[in-house]
Amino acid sequence: MHRFYLVMIIGMSPHLPVIDLSSTARDRVATEIDLAASEFGFFYVTGHNIETRIIESLLERSRTFFQSPEETKQRIHMSHGGRAWRGYFPVGGELTSGRPDLKEGLYLGEELSEDDARVRAGLPLHGRNLFPNVPGFSEAVLAYMSALTTLSHELMALIGRGLGIGENYFFDRYTRHPTVLFRIFNYPASTPDLRGVGEHTDYGLLTLLYQDDVGGLQVKHGSDWLDVPYVPGSFVINLGDMLERLTSGRYTSALHRVINTSGRARISMPFFFDPAFDATLQPIAGVGPAKPRPDLVARWDGLDLRNVRGTYGEYLIGKVSKVFPELGRDVFKASRN
């Protein structure tokens, strides 16, 4: 019996499972992921082989950047990032449900040259990064993103195994050329409102989160909010809207939020591993929820995921444009011209 079901049975508050990827019992690991994805939409992974030095190198340089004078950070503001939507935004510069979040951050992504076919085609969210002028920052970001891309492919293979559709299902249809986006957020130590980021779900397939020991992340489970505390050596994994859509609700794209009550600044580094921009969304035949899911309709944003059609890029741009309305208008204006 799996540990999180034991906790629920004996009447304690449920908590997210911790799954050890180093286990050689691959079927068992795939089953654990399947259960966690169905029940919570969130879980921890350990045994992931991401070297500590890669994480620590990026954390150190990120703190250096966020401690820079505001005028230094503004030199790489997102307004300079063009259609790639890369760069810095200040506290209050990002919206959740139309309300400013109390965090600052860097938008990053796969580093693509002007010769890349996706860049030549003018696809939004594709292009070059705006890196801070911090020694070793770009190298640290690219090493981190490369390591997490490899881990993401491994997780998607295990998800395919757990669903009984084969380890190559998602690679062959969605992630051979994934949309890879990366964010580094800094939540200030003190704010007029403890709400760091409001309730939301993520858009794509997987989010791989490294959070520091400050904590503050919470996930909705039923009517309760569960804390997602720091677990040394772990990544927090959560499933996005596309996995809920593709599995017809078997998996949960869970609501989550950040409330920083620690009195300390918090660094969070979410890595988004999503379908190819031009991938067409098709539910997986024969896969669906084991029990009714009324929350499929009563979502936080009023969207019924069962009605989502078209490509992932269309879905993503529609969502991101609500986070940065001004940038969204610029992209759509350019697309029409």
What amino acid occupies position 234?
Answer: S
Say if residue 89's pLDDT is above 60: yes
Of 4-8, 260-264, 266-270, 275-279, which range is least confident?
A: 4-8
Q: Determine the average pLDDT of the residues in 146-169.
A: 98
Alpha-carbon Rg for the chain, nearest whole angstrom, is: 19
Dump the DSSP string for 285-328: TT---SS--GGGTS-TTS--GGG--SBHHHHHHHHHHHHSHHHH
Looking at per-residue pLDDT, the higher value among 335 and 303 belongs to 303
Encode 7-35: b = buried (16+ Cβ within 10 Å), e = exposed.
eeeeeeebbbbbbebeeeeeeebbebbbb
Mean pLDDT of 310-327: 78
Domains (ranges, CATH) in the chain?
A: 15-336 (2.60.120.330)
Distances (CA, A) of 69 to 164, 230, 273: 52, 29, 32
What is the reported pLDDT for 54?
94
Asked if residues 316 and 274 have their Cβ atoms less than 8 Å apart, the reply is yes
CB 101 within 8 A of CB 198: yes
- Choose between 95 and 17: higher pLDDT: 17
Confidence at residue 288, expressed as pLDDT on a 0 to 100 scale: 85
The pLDDT value given to residue 161: 98
Span 113-147, pLDDT tens digits: 999 999 999 888 999 999 999 999 999 999 999 99
Got the DSSP string for 131-182?
--SSTTHHHHHHHHHHHHHHHHHHHHHHHHHHHTS-TTHHIIIIISS-EEEE
The tens digit of pLDDT for each residue in 31-87 reads 999 999 999 999 999 999 999 999 999 999 999 999 999 999 999 999 899 889 899
Q: How far apart are CA 247 and CA 272, in angstroms?
A: 19
Of the ranges 57-61, 99-103, 302-306, the best mean pLDDT one:
57-61
pLDDT for position 323: 67
* pLDDT averaged over every residue in the chain: 86
Burial annotation 112-134 (CB, 10 A radius, 16+ → b, else e): beeeeebbeeebbbbbbbbbbeb
pLDDT in tens, 168-221: 999 999 999 999 999 999 988 755 455 556 788 999 999 999 988 887 899 999
Cα–Cα separations (whole angstroms), residue 155 to 27, 33, 54, 167, 205: 13, 9, 20, 9, 10
Q: Is residue 8 pLDDT above 70, yes or no?
A: no
